[in-house]
Structures are given as structure tokens and as C-alpha cells.
Structure 1
Amino acid sequence: MAGHRIFSTSFASIYPLYVTKVERKGRDAADVDQVVTWLTGYDADGLRAAVDTEVDLETFFAQAPRMNPNAELITGVICGHRVEEIEDPLMQQIRWMDKLVDEVARGKKMTSILRTPPAAG
């Protein structure tokens, strides 16, 4: 999928769509920020800078401080494709982010979304 038009889409253009999507379901922008920072390693300032500078998705992921090693645990279908079977690494990262936001909107618990094992005890 090299050169797919989504790669040149700005993070700033999709971020508010993510926020709107989760707000319709009773969640908020902080939840979107939490899953995106978990996935990419960006902090709040880094996310804000990505929005403010309108960096494209290819650059957003290329400059991600640290992709979460547990991202490979993200499975399921998004846009008709199983995320774990997507071969293009950039497209897979984008779809991982989409999948996490979808899970927030569906009301899943954050520990489940962030692939966190339950606390012992």
C-alpha cells in the first residue's frame, strides 16, 4: 500500500474526528490522548505539536518516540481488514490507532484497550 493517500493525511485532521467519535459515546479527548500516547510514546506536548504543525501520518509515526511493544497484541477488524494481517507497517500502525479509538468509543475498559494484564491480588 505504499503511497496510500492516508499516509499524507494530517494527524490534525483525524484527531478531532477521533475526539468527536468518542465524545458521542460518553468518553472524552483525554481517553483518545491516553490510547495514542500508549501506542506511540508521544507525551501531551508531542501530541499537541503534531496537531499544531499538521504533521502527516507518515511523519507522525516515523517520529513517534517509542511504539509500544504490546501494540502487536492489537487484533480485530478495522475497515474490513484484520489489523494483525496488514503487511505494510505504516498502514498497520494507522489501523492500530483506529482500532484503539474504536475500542474507546465502544466503552471498553482502558486496561483492556491498553492490553494491560489485570493486577494480581
Structure 2
Amino acid sequence: MVKHRIYSVSVASVYPHYVAKAEKKGRTKAEVDEIMCWLTGHSARSLHDALEKGTSFEDFFAQAPAMNPSRSLITGTVCGVRVEAIEEPTMREIRYLDKLVDELAKGKAMEKILRR
């Protein structure tokens, strides 16, 4: 099976786009970081380190300290694809992150975004 090219893209190269999307809608970089830490179990420091190292999406999720078990509650569509229907695990994790950032940009309360 050929891997999708997004797997080799560095998270750091996409991160500014997540932040810009959130800030354009009045949200903050800190909220994007909180979402990423909630999803992956990273601390603020380890998230920063992963971004600094240029970690690929594949490695970012494979090496995540503790993927949040509540991420399976994330449902809906990203780019017309239902995230809960994505079978490939790494692609599902990437789409979970995309969906959370979308929810943030749409003004959803952080408590609901983080499935609390």
C-alpha cells in the first residue's frame, strides 16, 4: 500500500495554518495547542519540541505520549469524508485533528470540543 503524502509532511508546516484558521475566527494559538495536547497527550513543552524537530504527521501520532481515548467521540465530516468512517488509523488521527480545529474556528465551546 502506498502511503498518502500527508504522512511525510511536517506538522510544523501545517501548524501555522491551524493557528491562522483559529485566529481568523477570534480564537487563539493557545487553544490550538490545548486541542493538540488533549488529542495526543503531549505537554506544551513536548508539543513545542515536536514542532521544532519538524516531526512528520506519521511520527507525530505514532510517537504521541497518550492518544486520548475520548477521540473516538469525534464525529462529522472533514473535506466531505466522515472521520469516524476512515479506516486507516494515521489518516483518522490527522482528520480528528482537522475536525477539532474546524470546531474551534466555528466557535464551539472548548468544553464541547474536548468532549468533556
Query: Offset of 1:2 from its aligned partner?
Result: 4.7
Question: What residue in structure 2 maps to residue 69 of structure 1?
Answer: 69
Shift of 1:79: 1.2
Q: For 2:24 and 2:72, how far apart are their aligned partners in 1?
A: 28
The amino acid of 2:29's aligned partner reads A
Structure 2 counterpart of 1:84: 84
Q: Which has the larger radius of gyration?
A: 1
Counting aligned pairs with the same residue, the percent is 56
1:18-53, CA deviations, whole angstroms, 9 ceiling, x for partnerless residues? 000000000010000011100000011111111111
How far is 1:65 from its partner?
0.3
Q: List aligned pairs for 1:4-15, cutoff 5 A.
A: 4-15=4-15
Across the aligned residues of Structure 1 and Structure 2, the Cα RMSD in angstroms comes to 0.9
Check conservation: 1:2, 1:88, Cα contact below 8 A: no
Which residue of the partner structure matches residue 22 of structure 2? 22
Q: Does 1:108 align with 2:102?
A: no
Query: Match for 1:70: what amino acid?
Result: S
Stretches of structure 1 lacking an aligned partner (at least 5 in a row): 117-121
In the TM superposition, 1:39-58 aligns within 5 A as: 39-58=39-58
TM-score after normalising by structure 1: 0.94
Unpaired segments ≥5 residues, structure 2: none
- Matched letter for residue 24 of structure 1: K
- How many corresponding residue pairs? 116
